[in-house]
Homo-oligomer: A and B are copies of this chain.
Amino acid sequence: MATGNSQRIKVGIVGGTGYTGVELLRILAQHPNAELTAITSRKEDGLAVADMFPNLRGHVTLAFSTPEKAPLTGCDVVFFATPHGVAMNQAKELLAANVRLIDLAADFRLQDVAVFEKWYKVAHECPDILAESAYGLVELNRKAIAKARVVGNPGCYPTTILLGLAPLLGGAPLIDTSDIISDSKSGVSGAGRKAEVGSLFSEASDNFKAYGVAGHRHHPEIKAQLDQMAGTDVGLTFVPHLVPMVRGMLSTIYVKILPEARGVDFQALFETRYANEPFVDVMPFGSLPETRSVRAANTVRIALQRPGNGDRLIILVVQDNLVKGAAGQAVQNMNLMFGLPETTGLNQVAILP
């Protein structure tokens, strides 16, 4: 009888010249069950991936190839590390070939097609596949993911905010759901590897600013999930900021405790909720999580603060935006979809300093 350990999963990657791409390659190259089979890039056809990303020298021998040449339909799973709009165009063909899909872009994050089209300014190509797809935040949606053929890997900001709020929603009313604030901060790698002036070293270094305050694409994604968990229309103020660091994300979430919940032991609530989650670390009450404590690891660390023991609860959540916020979570989804232990290939210790 084959155990999980001997299973071979043929993996394809569409895109892969960006930061989620190289991070997928780094993780999968060290994954005991993954067999890197194909990676596509129309522009870089023929280039060894290790020539573009020298950290992979000696670990990955694969070269980019055009989609036409890449044997994607022969894979067991294909990751899309592309801009939005690509996965939905190839989903049908791949599903027909019995290939599972994990999209790291937004095509399968929003179940409401109208909301998708409003925010992404493009018609959805396969609403039927969207309808059967699963939202890939494992800790919140494990059952659906395990049997899904298509997974929409969550955005980086949503991962922190949803994991930070989940224990507070869906049970007895604990917080004022009409007025939740997430003041979120991300490292620059979240903007991707596109050549844009705003992401230049000399623009982003030694600088700090908010952005996307008037409207960020992760807002509807977060709200849709919060609404569903809370069973009501949640009021969310979400302000992302850009931090002069490569990796890392911290959300400072402000909620107001309802009068009837003032006596609740929120620390116990969080610890219980995540007791069996290998990738969620509820730190001691009053801790101050640092982004570097999860650098290059698939871990989210959460700490609670309640200044003056008042009715403001502050939830601090950190992750590596490229790992738990992107590529690591995608591999966690793969593990789940293929019946492997969820932590397979994802147990590396974070890099500090």
Q: Are B201 and A295 in contact (CB under 8 A)?
A: no
Binds B, one of A50-58, A92-100, A163-171, A331-339: A50-58
Taken residue by residue from 16 to 27, chain A's Cβ proximity to chain B (1 for < 8 Å, 0 otherwise) reads as 000100100010
Contacts of A351 in B (CB 8 A): 26, 55, 295-296, 351
A44 to chain B, nearest CB (A): 12
Chain B residues within an 8 Å CB radius of A312: 237
Evaluate contact between A202 and B307: CB separation under 8 angstroms. Answer: no
- Cα(A183)–Cα(B181), bound, Å: 10
Query: Which residues of A, 230-256, contact B by the 8 Å Cβ criterion?
Result: 237, 239, 241, 243-248, 250, 252, 254, 256
> Which of B199, B245, B314 meets A206, CB within 8 Å?
B245
The answer to whether A264 has its CB under 8 Å from any CB of chain B is no
Interface presence of A281 (CB below 8 A) = yes
Residue numbers in B under 8 Å from A213 (CB-CB): 286, 288, 305, 307, 314, 316
A244 near B241: Cβ-Cβ < 8 Å: no
- Evaluate contact between A200 and B197: CB separation under 8 angstroms: no
A148 at the interface (CB under 8 A from B): no
Q: Are B30 and A181 in contact (CB under 8 A)?
A: no
Asked if A349 and B201 make an inter-chain contact with CB atoms under 8 angstroms apart, the answer reads no
Chain A positions 201-216 with a Cβ under 8 Å from a chain B Cβ: 201-211, 213-215
Instruction: Find chain B residues with CB under 8 A from A248 CB.
Output: 206-208
Grouping DSSP codes into helix (H, G, I), strand (E, B) and loop, the A interface class, with mixed when no group exceeds half, is mixed
Query: In whole Å, how far is A31's beta carbon from the nearest beta carbon of chain B?
Result: 11
Q: Are A297 and B353 in contact (CB under 8 A)?
A: no
CB distance from A201 to the nearest CB of B (A): 4
Instruction: Let me know if B241 and A252 touch, CB within 8 A.
Output: yes
Q: Is A8 an interface residue (CB 8 A)?
A: no
Q: Is B199 a contact of A200 with CB atoms below 8 Å?
A: yes
A193 touching B188, Cβ below 8 Å = no
Residue from the list B19, B301, B305 in contact with A214, Cβ < 8 A = B305
Contact across chains for A237 and B254 when beta carbons are under 8 A apart: yes
CB-CB under 8 A for A188 and B206, given A54-B290, A254-B181: no
On whether the beta carbons of A55 and B297 are closer than 8 Å, the reply is yes
Residues of B within 8 A of A352 (CB): 22, 26, 53-55
Pick the most buried of A248, A351, A353: most chain B CB atoms within 10 A of its CB.
A353
A41 at the interface (CB under 8 A from B): no
Residue of A54, A214, A250, A312 contacting most chain B CB atoms (<10 Å):
A54
Q: Chain B: which residue is nearest A256 at the CB level? A: B179
- Residues 149-189 of chain A: 1 if any B CB is under 8 Å from the residue's CB, otherwise 0? 00000000000000000000000000000010101010111
A325 within 8 A of B: no
A63 is an interface residue with CB less than 8 A from chain B:
no
Q: Are B54 and A307 in contact (CB under 8 A)?
A: no
In the bound complex, do residue A195 and residue B197 qualify as a contact, i.e. CB atoms below 8 Å apart?
yes
Q: A246 contacts B202, CB within 8 Å?
A: yes
List 7 other contacts, CB 8 Å, given A205-B206, A210-B288. Answer: A19-B202, A26-B349, A188-B205, A208-B291, A209-B250, A213-B288, A241-B252
